[in-house]
A = this chain, B = another copy of it.
């Protein structure tokens, strides 16, 4: 980039002041239409672009949003959870549509994330995305709040949380899926996925799952809840643990599709047929879910809708419009992996 044109160059050529150039370029009504047109034409000719650093510095906002993606430290380094990848894609688009740039950052690499972004005047607001230990990061949310940083979180939505969160209605999702499983005639169940406060999203799915079982007067078997994080390997391990137990459930509900995919591989490896020997359900509806064999029945999270809401909510906060946390419903997608087993 040599000899970049500045607003002064344009002012000189247009025979007006630099202030007028600045106004004309931002379509201020305070400028004569003819002057404006002349200036805008000149700007195009000179390939002039407003220097963002200068304008941001002066006006004290950035026109960019930052997306902080947390990753489970145990997850495979080279592979990002496809669900978040999909969210990332949709958020990028939503930000662009609203005229914001998007700064993307992975947060395994910096412990100081809570301060890094807005403090550095890089972004007007933050989108927080990812699994990760909720208990660890609840405190950082308080710091963000204290600094009056604008942020939205995608994740579990509960009363008393700091800041605004959007998230899938995990409890209802777990409930709906389990009702479906019961309606298919299944009577005993396993749940693959961590189900404690460290991972409140999975926990809510589990609680919804249990509610449906109890409502159907079926027994909840605690030993059938096996921890797993959202990776194929972890799902596979959990499935192996499950199959080593004395009894085998009719249906296995996995806290995420990644877990389900891992479990499916394990079931096949041990000679079990899905859904004939054992039914299998996931959560998320990631792109692979309809490509596995059998195709996976799952609860769909609408990533495009979620991304739009996230960006909208953040921009409202930036404009000081009050916003509230909200739940986004998940949708049951019935495919092949849960057909009645007898």
Task: Give me the interface of A with B, judged by CB distance under 8 Å.
Answer: 1-2, 4, 47, 49-54, 56-57, 62, 64, 69, 78-80, 82, 85-86, 88-90, 92-93, 96-97, 101-106, 109-110, 115-116, 118-122, 147-149, 261, 265, 287-288, 291-293, 303-304
| A303 closest partner in B (C-beta) | B78
Partner of A101, one of B103, B118, B265: B103
Partner of A1, one of B50, B97, B118: B118
A291 / chain B contacts, CB cutoff of 8 Å? 261, 265, 288, 291-292
A292 to B288, CA, bound (A): 8
| A261 closest partner in B (C-beta) | B291
Partner of A106, one of B86, B96, B105, B109: B96
Q: Check if A105 sits within 8 Å of B102, measured CB to CB.
A: yes
Partner of A96, one of B90, B92, B105, B122: B105
A62 to B120, CA, bound (A): 13
- Given A79-B89, A287-B288, A292-B292, 19 other A-B contacts at CB below 8 A? A1-B119, A2-B148, A49-B116, A50-B120, A52-B53, A53-B57, A53-B121, A54-B57, A57-B57, A78-B90, A82-B82, A85-B85, A85-B88, A88-B89, A92-B104, A96-B110, A101-B103, A101-B122, A291-B291
Partner of A51, one of B47, B101, B116, B121: B121
A287 / chain B contacts, CB cutoff of 8 Å? 79, 82, 288
| A59 closest partner in B (C-beta) | B53
Q: Check if A89 sits within 8 Å of B96, measured CB to CB.
A: no
A291 to B265, CA, bound (A): 8
Top 9 closest pairs, chain A to chain B, by CB: A293-B293, A49-B119, A53-B57, A80-B89, A53-B56, A49-B120, A288-B288, A51-B121, A85-B85
Q: Check if A64 sits within 8 Å of B103, measured CB to CB.
A: yes
Q: Shortest Cβ distance from A167 into chain B, in angstroms?
A: 20
A82 / chain B contacts, CB cutoff of 8 Å? 82, 85, 287
| A288 closest partner in B (C-beta) | B288
A50 / chain B contacts, CB cutoff of 8 Å? 120
Q: Shortest Cβ distance from A122 into chain B, in angstroms?
A: 5
Q: Check if A49 sits within 8 Å of B115, measured CB to CB.
A: yes
Q: Check if A121 sits within 8 Å of B89, measured CB to CB.
A: no
A261 to B265, CA, bound (A): 18
A4 to B120, CA, bound (A): 10
Cross-chain pairs A/B with CB under 8 angstroms, 19 sampled = A1-B118, A1-B119, A1-B148, A1-B149, A47-B115, A49-B120, A52-B121, A53-B54, A53-B56, A57-B57, A78-B303, A79-B86, A79-B287, A88-B89, A96-B106, A102-B104, A102-B105, A103-B103, A293-B293
Partner of A47, one of B64, B101, B147, B293: B147
